[in-house]
Amino acid sequence: MTPQPTPSQTVGPFYGYALPFAGGGDIAPAGHPDAITVRGRVYDGAGDPIPDALLEFWQPAPGGSRAGAPGSLRRDPVTGAVIGRTGLDFTGFGRVATDADGHYSIRTLPPGGAPYISVCVFARGLVHHLFTRVYLPELTDPATEPLLASLPPRRRATLLAVPEGGRVHRFDIRLQGDGVEEETVFLDFG
Amino acid sequence: MTPQTPLTQEIISAEIAQARQAYAKAVEGGEPRRDHPDRGYAPYRSSVLRHPEQPLVALDDPDAVELSGPVFGVTDVTALDADLTRQHLGEPLGERIMVTGRVLGRDGRPVRGQLVEVWQANASGRYAHQRDQHPAPLDPNFTGVGRCLTDDQGRYAFTTIKPGAYPWRNHDNAWRPAHIHFSLFGTAFAQRLVTQMYFPGDPLFDHDPIMQSVTDDAARSRLVAAYDHDLSTPEWSLGYRWDIVLSGPAATWIEEGR
Ligand SMILES: [Fe+3]
């Protein structure tokens, strides 16, 4: 008999001292010249920012490798404190909590072999996480990329990062449409 | 200003019963069973504005980045991380327990070498979190955060104390049953799971809209650990067993590790 899946439950409000770790958004090695910043805000269906969302990011290395590397939460073996990544290995994984204004930001390297960074969203009030993608416009043609091309323009736009200049991209996430702004497209991998 | 009618447990319990009946009827009518909760589960009031109203976009792409996932290793954890009772100078208050089980994929194969994170309230039902205002004592010897990597059989094990129930503000006199939060990674990002483990026989189950958001009875029962006397250690700790099965795309079933 195939084992039956364990149901999801909300991350709740009190994960803040448990899941985020120092340097969680610094996926790119410090000072790397190719580093890009992705930043934005997470909103609810009233258009209010969500101050207690947790975002995780996963992406291939610039060379296209999807093997990842351990050490995202590298810890001091004596004290257990997070000492951060080595600054050499690209682990491909990031985790950040939104701040009081619903803001988040990550610094990473452009993914290789795929034009997007995968995002997993957790929040108080969200009983089952959501997946979406940050498509980087400089890496993709929305008219031919299969997922983007399959979506009506308004929906498609929610997956496209907006260049703000200086290697900074804006990517807002709306868990629910607020009547003005479009709800982010969320993905189901079956 | 008209005084607001208090949102009582009675009202929430009626909504819980209604959602359960609606689900049972849907299944009778041929709808598929659901392992996971419905994101728009109104008895849990915080979900109302925090769930998408548009259907998710199904993606069947063998090249999807989400079919691979982050990896973790021995530098991501330290040996003491799995024993939540030994992270401070003194012993925490409460009932010492061991919680162990296996992490499996839907194919029944063990998830090896992946990160399991837990967090929980102390024995009094208080989190070591600034925003937790519940007037129960903090325990200077208990933070309530643990991590480990699954072994070759997919096993994890934590030593901790049994967390207390705690109040929250979903409705009047709302209490969460005792639970331990779990965060799990599989071999694919699409297998990611954050959930909560409950203790058998807790009288608060029926009152709790978070647990009841899983409207399928069989699925909900899989959130409850089993007391296992063989896991209890004489004059030391009580043992609980809880196996975890990650859902995820069928494409990852054939992928054995990395
Ligand atoms: Fe909790």
Euclidean distance between CA atoms A54 and A105, whole angstroms: 11
Q: Is the pLDDT confidence value at B253 over 80?
A: no
Q: In what order do the strands lie in the sheet with B193-198?
A: B145-149, B115-119, B179-184, B193-198
Whether residues B70 and A120 touch (CB distance < 8 A) is answered with no
What average pLDDT does range B79-97 have in this prediction?
95
Q: Please report the DSSP string for chain A in residue order.
A: -PPPPPPP----S--TTTS--TTTTB-SPTT-TT-EEEEEEEE-TTS-B-TTEEEEEE---TT---S--S-TT-B-TTT--B----SSS---EEEEE--TTSEEEEEE---SSSSEEEEEEEETT-SS-EEEEEE-GGG--TTTSHHHHTS-HHHHGGGB-EEEETTEEE--EESS--SSSPPPP-EE--
Q: Which tens digit of pLDDT belongs to each residue from A52-108? A: 999 999 999 999 999 999 999 999 988 888 998 998 899 999 999 999 999 999 999
Dihedral class, residue A167 (left if φ above 0, else alpha if ψ from -120 to 50, else beta): left
A16 vs B70, more confident: B70
- As a three-state string, the secondary structure of B111-152 is CCCCEEEEECCCCCCCCCCCCCCCCCCCCCCCCCEEEEECCC
- Of the partner residues A128, A175, A189, the one whose CB lies closest to the CB of residue B36: A128
pLDDT given at position A21 = 95
Question: Can you give the C-alpha Rg of chain A in angstroms?
Answer: 17
Question: Could you tell me whether strands B115-119 and B96-104 are parallel, antiparallel, or unpaired per DSSP bridges?
Answer: unpaired
Q: How far is the CA of A11 from the centre of ligand 1 (A)?
A: 8
Selected for mutation to probe chain B from A2, A66, A127 (highest B CB count within 10 Å) is A127
Q: How far is residue A155's CA from residue A27's CA, in Å, rounded to a whole number?
A: 28
User: Which CATH number among 3.40.50.2300, 3.40.50.300, 2.30.110.10, 2.60.130.10 corresponds to the domain A36-174?
Assistant: 2.60.130.10
Residue A22 has pLDDT above 60, yes or no: yes
Q: What is the pLDDT of residues B111-153, one digit of tens each?
A: 999 999 999 999 999 999 878 888 999 999 999 999 999 999 9
Render pLDDT for B182-228 as a digit per residue (tens, 0 to 9). 999 999 999 999 999 999 999 999 999 999 999 999 999 999 999 99
What pLDDT, on the 0 to 100 scale, is given for residue B3? Answer: 62
Interface of B with A in 110-149 (CB under 8 A): 115, 117-119, 121, 127-132, 143-145, 147
| A151-172 confidence digits (pLDDT tens) | 999 999 999 999 999 999 999 9
Helix (H) / strand (E) element for B181: namely strand B179-184
Give the model's confidence band at B254: pLDDT under 50 very low, under 70 low, under 90 confident, else very high: very low
Identify all chain A residues contacting B23, using CB atoms and an 8 Å cutoff: none
CA distance A37 to chain B (A): 20
Question: What tokens were used for A182?
Answer: 């479009």
Per-residue pLDDT, averaged over A182-186, amounts to 98
Chain A nearest-CA residue for B218 = A4
Q: For this structure, is B198 an active site residue?
A: no
Per-residue model confidence (pLDDT) at position A1: 67
For β-strands B244-245 and B174-176, DSSP reports them as: unpaired
Question: CB B139: neighbour CB atoms within 10 A?
Answer: 21
Which pTM was predicted?
0.96
Chain centre distance of CA A14: 20
Q: Out of B47, B60, B143, name the one closest to residue A190 (CB).
A: B60
Of the candidates B23, B156, B166, B240, the residue annotated as catalytic is B166
Q: Please, what is the average pLDDT of chain B?
A: 94
Neighbour count for residue A111 (Cβ, 10 Å): 23
